[in-house]
Amino acid sequence: MSTSTTSSANQIASAVATLRKNFLTGVTKSYEWRLEQLNQLKKLLKDNTHRFEDALHQDLRQARLLKMVEVYNPILECEDAIANLKDWMKPEHTVVRSISNQPAKAYTIREPLGTILMISPWNYPISLVVKPLVGAIAAGNNVIIKPSEVAPACSRLFAELVPLYMDENNVKVIEGAVEETTQLLKQRFDHIMYTGNTAVGKIVMRAASEHLTPVTLELGGKSPVIITKKANIDLAAKRITWAKFTNLGQTCVAPDYALIDSSVKSEFLDRMNHYVKEFYGSDVQKSPDYSRIINERHCDRIQGLLNGHGGKVVMGGDVDKSDRYVAPTIVIDPSKDSKLMQEEIFGPVLPVLTINNLDEAIEYINDNEKPLALYLFSSDSGEKNKVVKETSSGALSINDLVLHVHVSELPFGGVGHSGMGAYNSKRTFDTFSHEKPVLEKATWLDPYIRYPPYNDTKIKLLKASYMNLSLDNLFFKYIPLTILLTGAIVFSYVALLSGKF
């Protein structure tokens, strides 16, 4: 089922209630259902690759590489979950180390949370719908997807295709804008995932608190890149040019501003100018590899950031709202109080602040909110260790940018104002699961020592029984002591069964 942008509050409430009721049937918990839905999601993407690429072109005029990655990476995410689903669903057994809990066995199981709401962004309107959806389905939940209305072609395509390929009783798409999102947030969910800006993230969190609903928030913010005098300046300029202007900076982990040592600033700016021309040609606006701003409103927003910043524009600065084009732009030493330095840019504008040493850069970063990503270019191990130890960020990447997001073994998420919670591959499955502990005690032994009335002897024995069995320290290093202690405890337990103590 999908609903249009005219969905009423009653329709939305009914859709959520239906999903919550359907979850209670237990259908989504089975391995077979999860596997089938993951395979169908993969088929949806593969069957309609060209349609998704066309939608991406309509919404963002994305370059060929970006369009390929936007569809191909979610397919890989599906394949990863399909290949590992059985292992992810297996109980995880643990050793019961406290003597007082013996004999027993303990394990944890991952059970689905229930009905999930996913509010997705417009900057990567395919992958940032599918990647969390894969984890939620793999974990056995049912889901309401709210694609971004700011990317209408991609939103419409999901609304059309999801009911054709997937279990429409448990996976629904609801389109709409602020009104529909507001109505969705009034409903009770078992988890909400929101990807977007901090202001809306606060609204989502307040709404979730009404039902004590846990949230995962991926919020972005101002991600800095530090370039020290010990960096490979040419490589830094090349990789920063690529990361900043890919998708026109409309990437949550794009470098938002640069902090560069004064001794290498001129060389860095020269090399960035060189790589902009190498990547996009002398007329960037005509390059097939240079995307567009999502809409005219965001063009106006970026134009506003370029007014009154107090710095010097040394490259670009042009805005063509009719073409949704903003040129690759560098601004040297803008005022730290300007909007350009206070708001997330989310566009192809790179402020460059001059620093005299690494300590100055770290101090500036630590004086502001914790970023979603922090980047460092340096070949010095001391500088690398210093940044690792003295800063806090959602992620830290050294001598490259953005690509840490695609390392499935690493969590992706923010800290502080840049978000809460993390996901990626298995961690997405974990995010949408409850890790339930299970303790199963034997019935053939029930020591009297645990029950009242208590006397001094019982208390001493109970105290002794709380020691932990450490395989390293006892069984391998102190085997004779272990045998002695175990024999004494067993003797005491058996004696206490008669109630003589």
What tens digit of pLDDT does each residue of 414-445 get?
999 999 999 999 999 999 999 999 999 988 88
Q: Which pLDDT belongs to residue 480?
A: 52
Q: Which pLDDT belongs to residue 32?
A: 98
Let me know whether 230 and 196 are in one domain: no
Q: Do 154 and 142 touch, CB atoms closer than 8 A?
A: no
Let me know whether 211 and 274 are in one domain: no
Catalytic residue among 53, 154, 175, 252, which?
Answer: 252
Let me know whether 237 and 191 are in one domain: no
- Report the relative pairing of strands 349-355 and 374-377 from DSSP bridges: unpaired
Residue 417 falls inside a structural domain = no
Q: Do 347 and 215 touch, CB atoms closer than 8 A?
A: no
Q: What is the DSSP string of 361-378?
A: HHHHHHTSPPPS-EEEE-
Let me know whether 204 and 234 are in one domain: no
Calpha distance 416→456 (Å, rounded): 50
Over residues 94-139, the pLDDT tens digits come to: 988 777 777 889 999 999 999 999 999 999 999 999 999 999 999 9
Let me know whether 240 and 209 are in one domain: no
At residue 300 the predicted structure's pLDDT band, cuts being 50, 70 and 90, is: very high
Residue 412 falls inside a structural domain = no
Q: Give me the residues paired with residue 325 across strands.
A: 320
Classified as helix, coil or strand, 99 is helix
Over residues 444-477, the pLDDT tens digits come to: 888 888 889 989 988 888 787 776 554 444 444 4
Q: Do 448 and 483 touch, CB atoms closer than 8 A?
A: no
Let me know whether 8 and 155 are in one domain: yes
Q: Which pLDDT belongs to residue 101?
A: 79
User: What's the one-letter identity of residue 207?
Assistant: A
CATH of the domain at 275: 3.40.309.10
Let me know whether 285 and 194 are in one domain: no
Let me know whether 316 and 176 are in one domain: no
What average pLDDT does the segment 338-343 reach? 97
Q: Is 344 a catalytic residue?
A: no
Residue 41 has pLDDT above 50, yes or no: yes
Q: Is 218 a catalytic residue?
A: yes
**Helix H or strand E segment including 269:** helix 265-280
Q: Which pLDDT belongs to residue 465?
A: 72
- Taking every pair of C-alpha atoms in the chain, what is the biggest distance, in angstroms? 95
Range of the domain at 455: 446-497
Percentage of the residues of the chain whose pLDDT score is greater than 90: 83
pTM of the model: 0.89
Residue 96 falls inside a structural domain = no
Catalytic residue among 180, 218, 344, 383, which?
Answer: 218
**Helix H or strand E segment including 111:** strand 104-112
CATH of the domain at 20: 3.40.605.10
Residue 348 has pLDDT above 50, yes or no: yes
Residue 470 falls inside a structural domain = yes
Let me know whether 202 and 305 are in one domain: no
Classified as helix, coil or strand, 354 is strand
Let me know whether 233 and 339 are in one domain: yes
Let me know whether 328 and 273 are in one domain: yes
Residue 277 falls inside a structural domain = yes
DSSP structural state of residue 14: H
Let me know whether 214 and 319 are in one domain: no
